[in-house]
Amino acid sequence: MATSFSATLPLHGSQENRLLLPPIRLAPPPSSFLGFTRSLTIPSSRRLYHAHAARRSPVVGVQEVVKEKKVTNSLVCILITKEEGLVLYEDMILGRSFEDMCAQMYYRGKMFGFVHLYNGQEAVSTGFIKLLTQSDSVVSTYRDHVHALSKGVSARAVMSELFGKVTGCCRGQGGSMHMFSKEHNMLGGFAFIGEGIPVATGAAFTSKYKREVLKQDCEDVTVAFFGDGTCNNGQFYECLNMAALYKLPIIFVVENNLWAIGMSHLRSTSDPEIWKKGPAFGMPGVHVDGMDVLKVREVAKEAVTRARRGEGPTLVECETYRFRGHSLADPDELRDAAEKAKYAARDPITALKKYLVENKLASEGELKTIEKKIDELVEEAVEFADASPQPGRSQLLENVFADPKGFGIGPDGRYRCEDPKFTQGTAQV
């Protein structure tokens, strides 16, 4: 079972093994699905969170949870119930179908600008976001469609937003890279890498402030998603420092898909093991296989519980892969076909399907029904978006300010926004 970071990268090729200690060798599990098995029974798994422990298996599990669910006579622990499994499956299928449909729509000219698709990384989004409540916040990057969907924004609203229609979640004013939803606490969608991290830290700061200063009952956590390229950006480190300093309820999730457009993570980073940077700032750093939704979910549970209990932030590095290019405009020529094939074989959806079927949690038929339902949902979303109107001319000047007196005073001496004709006609401000 490939638990060590370096071993899964064919790019390492003939380079020496970067580990200080050899990884723990485990007998292959009965199922080829990379679910939790023996790795969870390492007694010292908790100490692995700290910087000073020698590096063993980077994947650490949650013992208590496993012990409760462990089947006595089987080596495979069933980590989820049938309902949970179906929810996870449906969410990942929604993410995949939606993104595939986006690609189709883009090439047909219905969608435009920058569109960054999430294919292959669904396990990370589903694994984390399905553990959150509505009042928890999620902050993402430009690869945010699936984060918005997992958080509860409807497929119709996201698709309309991508088409630039007035029925979109941001009335067509945000676009692919700026998915905001106050209702679902999806705090965006940021185009600059690293920009979302301080904003997420601020949202976590607010949770703590509400508890301590405003004396409200607030257990909300924030999850910040970002990529491997962001981990070389100054803001990332500034926020690791402050989140640990103020013990904020935040989880920093690195979706390490090894590539930042065409820049390989290994070419741009002095120490590519991002999880190690957590302990340097005084928080646990965990590495998890991001192609395995159950593993991600177990780590996420631990991190979210830590945050809710007030124990502070966690840095989780998810080793994942994007099946498509950086964006739909990226020809994706620099990535090795062999590497792509290797990760395609570890498709998180196929893996979960196999797990559910083999562990008798769901039948093929039930899963097919879900797939069909999602297909219809996505088709319907496209039809809805197609049929929706574009924003009216008057919308151009709306929403610049919450208090629109910021447009100043008109020639008649009154605030311009008080003029009923203000947003009509041309954009003469």
Partner 1 sequence: MWGILGRRAVDGGFSASSLRRMRSGLVSARSYAAGSKEMTVRDALNSAIDEEMSADPKVFVMGEEVGQYQGAYKITKGLLEKYGPERVYDTPITEAGFTGIGVGAAYAGLKPVVEFMTFNFSMQAIDHIINSAAKSNYMSAGQINVPIVFRGPNGAAAGVGAQHSQCYAAWYASVPGLKVLAPYSAEDARGLLKAAIRDPDPVVFLENELLYGESFPISEEALDSSFCLPIGKAKIEREGKDVTITTFSKMVGFALKAAEKLAEEGISAEVINLRSIRPLDRATINASVRKTSRLVTVEEGFPQHGVCAEICASVVEESFSYLDAPVERIAGADVPMPYAANLERLALPQVEDIVRAAKRACFRSK
HSE-CB of 247 using CA atoms within 13 angstroms: 8
Is residue 238 a contact point for partner 1 (CB under 8 A)?
A: yes
**If binding means CB under 8 A, how many residues of this protein chain bind partner 1?**
59
**Rg over CA atoms, the chain:** 23
Q: Are strands 180-181 and 137-139 parallel, antiparallel or unpaired?
A: unpaired
Question: In the set 189, 229, 249, 290, which binds partner 1 (CB under 8 A)?
Answer: 189
Please give the C-alpha separations between residue 105 and each of 179, 306, 315, in angstroms, as whole numbers.
18, 41, 36
What H or E segment, with its residue span, contains residue 224?
strand 222-227
Is residue 278 a contact point for partner 1 (CB under 8 A)?
A: no
Is residue 308 a contact point for partner 1 (CB under 8 A)?
A: no
What tokens were used for 388?
Answer: 């929706």
What H or E segment, with its residue span, contains residue 211?
helix 196-212
Is residue 209 a contact point for partner 1 (CB under 8 A)?
A: yes
Is residue 247 a contact point for partner 1 (CB under 8 A)?
A: no
**Smallest distance from the beta carbon of 120 to partner 1, in angstroms?**
27
| C-alpha–C-alpha distance, residues 70 and 41, integer Å | 11
User: How remote is the C-alpha of 259 from its chain's centroid?
Assistant: 16
Closest CB to partner 1 among 35 and 175?
175
| C-alpha–C-alpha distance, residues 338 and 398, integer Å | 50
Q: Pick the stretch among 79-87, 96-104, 238-246, 331-339 that binds partner 1 (CB under 8 A).
A: 238-246
Q: Pick the stretch among 66-74, 174-182, 283-291, 301-309 that binds partner 1 (CB under 8 A).
A: 174-182
**Smallest distance from the beta carbon of 297 to partner 1, in angstroms?**
26
Q: Pick the stretch among 84-92, 198-206, 288-296, 374-382 that binds partner 1 (CB under 8 A).
A: 198-206
Is residue 214 a contact point for partner 1 (CB under 8 A)?
A: yes
* Contact (Cβ atoms closer than 8 angstroms) between residue 185 and residue 124: no
What H or E segment, with its residue span, contains residue 367?
helix 364-387
Is residue 114 a contact point for partner 1 (CB under 8 A)?
A: no
Is residue 261 a contact point for partner 1 (CB under 8 A)?
A: no
Q: Pick the stretch among 152-160, 181-189, 298-306, 332-340 that binds partner 1 (CB under 8 A).
A: 181-189
Is residue 411 a contact point for partner 1 (CB under 8 A)?
A: yes
**Smallest distance from the beta carbon of 231 to partner 1, in angstroms?**
15
What tokens were used for 112?
Answer: 């435009």
* Contact (Cβ atoms closer than 8 angstroms) between residue 274 and residue 230: no
Is residue 174 a contact point for partner 1 (CB under 8 A)?
A: yes
- Kindly identify the residues of this chain, within the stretch 359-398, that bind partner 1 according to CB under 8 A: 398
* Contact (Cβ atoms closer than 8 angstroms) between residue 324 and residue 117: yes
Q: Pick the stretch among 18-26, 41-49, 165-173, 307-315 that binds partner 1 (CB under 8 A).
A: 165-173
Closest CB to partner 1 among 112 and 209?
209
What tokens were used for 180?
Answer: 């905001």
**Smallest distance from the beta carbon of 398 to partner 1, in angstroms?**
7
Question: In the set 45, 57, 181, 256, which binds partner 1 (CB under 8 A)?
Answer: 181
* Contact (Cβ atoms closer than 8 angstroms) between residue 252 and residue 244: no
| C-alpha–C-alpha distance, residues 342 and 323, integer Å | 11
What tokens were used for 367?
Answer: 């899963």
Q: Pick the stretch among 10-18, 21-29, 212-220, 281-289 that binds partner 1 (CB under 8 A).
A: 212-220
Is residue 112 a contact point for partner 1 (CB under 8 A)?
A: no
Closest CB to partner 1 among 34 and 239?
239
Scored b (16 or more CB within 10 A) or e, 152-161 reads: ebbbbbbbbb
Is residue 2 a contact point for partner 1 (CB under 8 A)?
A: no
**Smallest distance from the beta carbon of 103 to partner 1, in angstroms?**
24
Neighbours of 83 (CB within 10 A): 10
Is residue 281 a contact point for partner 1 (CB under 8 A)?
A: no
Give the closest residue to 91 by CA, choosing from 32, 12, 33, 147: 147
Is residue 198 a contact point for partner 1 (CB under 8 A)?
A: yes
The four Cα atoms 158, 163, 166, 171 give a dihedral, to 10 degrees, of 50
| Residues of this chain that bind partner 1 (CB under 8 A) | 137, 139, 169-175, 178, 180-183, 187-192, 195, 197-207, 209, 212-214, 234-235, 238-239, 241-242, 245, 398-403, 405-413, 415
